[in-house]
Chain A
């Protein structure tokens, strides 16, 4: 079974509008972390935002916010006021377990290609 599911292969949004990118996850570990990365066409993976499974509040980083619904096992990324430079591939990822001096690997979804229209 896939651990991270991103059901939107491609999304379009008008410049200055908000957009939500969906992510659902599957784990039996009570402790986990959820990440969103942006990958422009140049290829680098750019960290956007992190949510820990025990965090009480939804994470926010500037124009990025994470809509964390634990019971539904969803961790959707919301980008407010989209900009042309936001056009890229977006990946949701999960780390199971906690850090204990040893960082487990990230498991990635298949990604969503976001295109911001002028």
Chain B
């Protein structure tokens, strides 16, 4: 079974440019999460989806960040415009809602210069 797939793996952009990250969760997992992990810190939730509905986006900086999960499967996280402080690893995870299983993708390491 394929895991959570994220792309790109690395991204370097100049500040004020837009950037987008893509996540394909494990098949059948209804819940999808986007986390941001700053260097040397633990991941922090940006947004949680149940199917195509964003059920918790309280930590998403809505002035520049947006996310969507069309058809309740793949998800895209966008930043426009990017700032230097957005440099971080963006992790996607998914869960079936049962048991103890959360599966994380390998993350996208964003560097804003």
Interface residues of A (CB under 8 A from B): 4, 33, 35, 37, 42-45, 47, 50, 52, 91, 93, 99-111
A contacts with B: majority SS: loop
* Contact of B44 with A99 in the complex, beta carbons under 8 Å: no
- Interface set, chain B 56-103, CB cutoff 8 A to A: 56, 89, 91, 93, 95-103
Count contacts between A and B, CB distance < 8 Å: 64
Q: B97 to A103, Cβ gap below 8 A?
A: yes
Taken together as a complex, chains A and B put the C-alpha atoms of A103 and B99 apart, in Å, by 9
Contact partner of A105 (CB less than 8 A), chosen from B30, B33, B109, is B33
Interchain residue pairs A-B with the least CB separation, the first 5: A108-B42, A103-B95, A45-B104, A50-B100, A103-B97
Q: Which residues of B contact A102 (CB under 8 A)?
A: 30-31, 50, 55, 97
Whether B91 and A108, one on each chain, are in contact in the complex, defined by CB atoms closer than 8 angstroms, is no
